[in-house]
């Protein structure tokens, strides 16, 4: 009869549970465009000693999935919802497009703040900024220092649009929005690391904190201080050489953040999550070897993420976890750690996986909807034997157990003039046995294909329309980019 009191009690309990147990600090570090083969512990030539050590001491997540591009991954992390339920299933939010992560459900920062946490965002946002109500400090963050768009110059922190160049760097609170011009010349990885360290140094142990450190690294443009390049003189590809140096610079930053946590005595009560947002781009120096595909594609190279959890609070650590997990799972998992609640959330795709991670129990996840993009449709004269189940012209993918089904023009760039055969629009792979996706099983297992297409159709029936508004003419104000409506 007292169920209605639960949300209020959870808020009143603040930084401790009603039983007195202290809630942990939560630090999430998100790399940008880091490929599967871009960390040392996956056998890469790139030197990432701090990341490797944390992964070895913690729990490596080796059956972990993200989205193939930036905005969808960040939206699912921040909302716990599939992008078919937020309208973000087609592409990224471009700087001059008037749309954003919807306001109809709380963000992770909202829920952790509600649970009594101080909340900080540092680095990349990329979830919409055309109106102030979509900015990070209106979405649950007490403080945000970073940029709103998807990319920029790593030193000038500027972005050029329609032949107009302006700064996209901000230091915001819920009531003040300040453009930052005095950091020109500061390398982004160093700048964001220092800001994270500064925020850690201001904390007290009276209140837990959540820090979302979304590095700009290792996203293009490929820029890095010369001193990091000396490690990679033997890499002949100049882009790979710069990319490797950028990754090592980011790894150094991760080390400094952990040092700050330990120096202030926070580490013993901190859970640190490291994740990439999508796969790497080989043409920009990244590598997803031995996986097939790259950023923007639904093959494993675009969506199998680098991730681990490091914390003294883990019940079991120092092992590789192969339980199926998705980036949306962080939403309920971290709220659980914070002793928060799911009040006012809906359409959640995420599953609380803390026991899987910390106690090594089996995953609670049986499938992942990778995406259904109704705006990316191939041309075909017929849909063949699957015509009544799901429109296989649509670019989509779903994972069920060990199997992954892909539909549409799934090889990458769609040839608009090409008329596809039905057999070209469906592929099925056993990911456990065939992680490189070399053997298409669709013609051998039509019943399984139909079952998985039926699941896609069931999800599609719940989808909201995909947002892809026309770009607008946007001009900087006072030499800076920001909300224009």
Distance, in Å, from the CA atom of 279 to the CA atom of 299, rounded to the nearest integer, reads 10
- C-alpha distances in Å from residue 182, one per residue of 156, 186, 236, 245, 323: 10, 9, 36, 25, 45
Q: How many CA atoms lie within 13 A of 33 on its CB side?
A: 23
Residues 83 and 297: their CA atoms lie apart, in Å, by: 16
**Spatial separation of the C-alpha atoms in residues 181 and 380, rounded to whole Å:** 52
> Which SS3 state, helix, strand or coil, does residue 2 take?
coil
| Residue from 42, 70, 154, 170 carrying the catalytic annotation | 70
Residue-wise over 307-332: b if at least 16 C-beta within 10 A, else e? bbbbbeebeebeeebebbbbbbbbbb
Identify the residue whose tokens are 């100049």.
238
Choose the catalytic residue: 42, 90, 126, 154: 126
Terminal Cα-to-Cα distance of the chain (whole angstroms): 46
State the number of CA atoms in the 13 A half-sphere of 67 facing the CB: 27
Residue with tokens 């057999």: 423
Does residue 70 carry a catalytic annotation? Answer: yes
CA distance 288 to 277: 13
Q: Closest Cα partner for 174 from 222, 139, 219?
A: 139
Beta bridge partners of 403: 400, 430
Active-site residue flag, 326: no
Is the Cβ–Cβ distance between 353 and 325 less than 8 Å?
Answer: yes
The full DSSP string for 338-389 is TT---TT--SB-----HHHHHH-PPPS--EEEEEEEEEEE--BS--GGGTTT
Q: Would you call 367 exposed, middle or buried from its count of C-beta atoms within 10 A (0-12, 13-18, 19+)? A: middle
And the tokens for 435? 């992680």
Looking at the annotation, which residues are catalytic?
70, 126
């Amino acid at each position: 009869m007292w169920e209605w009191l639960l949300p209020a009690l959870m808020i009143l309990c603040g930084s401790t549970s009603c039983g007195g147990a202290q809630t942990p600090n939560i630090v999430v570090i998100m790399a940008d465009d880091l490929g599967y083969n871009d960390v040392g512990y996956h056998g890469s030539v790139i030197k990432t000693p701090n990341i490797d050590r944390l992964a070895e001491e913690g729990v490596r997540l080796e059956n972990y999935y993200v989205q193939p591009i930036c905005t969808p991954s960040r939206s699912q992390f921040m909302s716990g919802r599939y992008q078919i339920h937020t309208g973000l299933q087609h592409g990224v939010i471009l700087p001059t497009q008037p749309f954003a992560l919807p306001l109809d459900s709380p963000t992770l920062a909202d829920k952790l703040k509600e649970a009594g946490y101080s909340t900080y965002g540092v680095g990349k946002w990329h979830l919409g900024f055309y109106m102030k109500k979509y900015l990070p400090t209106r979405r649950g963050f007490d403080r945000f220092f970073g940029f709103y768009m998807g990319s920029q110059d790593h030193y000038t922190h500027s972005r050029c649009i329609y032949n107009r160049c302006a700064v996209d760097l901000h230091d915001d609170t819920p009531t003040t929005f300040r453009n930052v011009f005095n950091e020109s010349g500061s390398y982004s990885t160093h700048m964001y690391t220092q800001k994270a360290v500064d925020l850690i140094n201001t904390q007290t142990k009276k209140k837990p904190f959540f820090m979302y450190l979304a590095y700009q690294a290792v996203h293009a443009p490929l820029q890095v201080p010369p001193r990091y390049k000396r490690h990679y003189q033997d890499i002949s590809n100049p882009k790979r050489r710069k990319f490797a140096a950028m990754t090592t610079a980011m790894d150094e930053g991760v080390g400094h953040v952990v040092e700050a946590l330990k120096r202030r005595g926070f580490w013993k009560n901190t859970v640190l999550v490291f994740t990439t947002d999508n796969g790497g781009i080989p043409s920009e120096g990244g590598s997803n070897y031995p996986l097939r595909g790259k950023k923007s594609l639904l093959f494993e190279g675009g969506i199998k993420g680098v991730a681990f959890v490091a914390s003294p609070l883990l019940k079991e650590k120092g092992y590789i976890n192969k339980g199926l997990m998705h980036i949306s799972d962080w939403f309920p998992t971290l709220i659980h750690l914070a002793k928060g609640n799911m009040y006012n959330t809906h359409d959640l795709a995420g599953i609380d996986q803390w026991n899987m991670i910390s106690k090594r129990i089996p995953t609670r996840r049986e499938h992942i909807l990778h995406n259904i993009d109704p705006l990316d449709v191939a041309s075909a004269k017929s849909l063949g034997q699957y015509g009544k189940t799901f429109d296989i012209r649509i670019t989509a993918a779903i994972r069920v157990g060990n199997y992954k089904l892909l539909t549409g023009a799934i090889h990458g760039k769609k040839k608009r003039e090409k008329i596809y055969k039905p057999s070209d629009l469906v592929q099925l792979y056993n990911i456990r046995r065939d992680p490189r996706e070399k053997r298409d099983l669709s013609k051998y297992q039509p019943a399984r294909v139909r079952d998985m297409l039926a699941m896609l159709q069931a999800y599609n029936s719940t989808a909201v329309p995909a947002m892809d508004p026309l770009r607008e003419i946007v001009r900087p104000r006072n030499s800076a980019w920001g909300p224009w409506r």
